[in-house]
Amino acid sequence: MSSDTALIVIDVQNDFCPGGALAVAEGDQIIPLINKMMDEHDVCILTQDWHPAGHSSFASSHEGQQPYEMIDMPYGPQVLWPDHCIQGSHGAQFHTDLKTDTADMIIRKGCNPQIDSYSAFFENDRKTPTGLEGYLRTCGVSSVVLVGLATDFCVNYSAQDAAKLGFSVTVELSACRAIDLAGSLDQARQAMLQAGCVLRD
């Protein structure tokens, strides 16, 4: 694949795989396909959800709230999650089967205690950048292929932001898996299509 296309691998971490704190069904099954795709792309980016303990996206940080409830944050509605991907923990490590050696860059996100960050490009205020856009532009990248976890949250937000920034976006759905909370997968598919992303089954 030419170097104007980057593969962006979203959050293939222990906590999002079976047995993890925020396990996505079959989350580990996409790893062989992702490893193969990494061999086929010159530019590979990995993202790593990387929260400080007590992060504001954790239900445990809000008295009386349970995981998967919604709250209003200053930047908008936010789903509350079980504690997950705490910096330095086993759950935050990449799954051991993921071939990380050929990655050009690893973006850690969700580090700000006050703001969640689903997207590889912006925090959930939708305006604080992670720096990935600049990196991709510097490399001459104009199109991105997105894979990883979870389809309806971090892949979805990353895909929409990439499209808004003017990249051509393909989401390879066979190499993604979803959390699917109350129709979130259908909503995510619609939103990604609306944003101009190509969804490949």
* Site for Zn ion, rule CB under 5 A: 49, 110
* Reduced 3-state DSSP string for the chain: CCCCEEEEEECCEHHHCCCCCCCCCCHHHHHHHHHHHHHHCCEEEEEEECECCCCCCEHHHCCCCCCCCEEEECCEEEECECCCCECCCHHHCECCCCCCCCCCEEEEECCCCCCCCCCCCECCCCCCECCHHHHHHHCCCCEEEEEEECHHHHHHHHHHHHHHCCCEEEEEEEEEECCCCCCHHHHHHHHHHHCCCEEEC
Tell me if 153 contacts ligand VGL by CB under 6 A: yes
Which position among 150, 162, 169, 185 is part of the footprint of ligand VGL (CB under 6 A)?
A: 150
Choice between 145 and 155, CB closer to ligand VGL: 155
- Contacts (CB under 6 A) with ligand VGL, residues 68-87: 81
The entry of ligand VGL, Zn ion, none that residue 27 binds, CB within 5 to 8 Å by partner kind: none
**Cα(46)–Cα(153) distance, integer angstroms:** 16
Q: Which positions are catalytic? A: 11, 109, 154
**Cα(20)–Cα(55) distance, integer angstroms:** 18
Choice between 27 and 110, CB closer to Zn ion: 110
Residue 8 pairs in a beta bridge with 45, 146
Helix (H, G, I), strand (E, B) or coil at 115: coil
Q: Which residue is nearest to Zn ion (CB)?
A: 49
- Contacts (CB under 6 A) with ligand VGL, residues 85-144: 118
Tell me if 30 contacts ligand VGL by CB under 6 A: no
Choice between 103 and 139, CB closer to ligand VGL: 103
Choice between 41 and 84, CB closer to Zn ion: 84
Least separation in angstroms between CB 120 and ligand VGL: 10
The entry of Zn ion, ligand VGL, none that residue 123 binds, CB within 5 to 8 Å by partner kind: none
Which position among 6, 44, 45, 49 is part of the footprint of ligand VGL (CB under 6 A)?
A: 49
Choice between 5 and 20, CB closer to Zn ion: 20
Judged by the rule CB under 6 A, the positions of this chain that interact with ligand VGL are 11, 16, 49, 81, 118, 149-150, 153-154
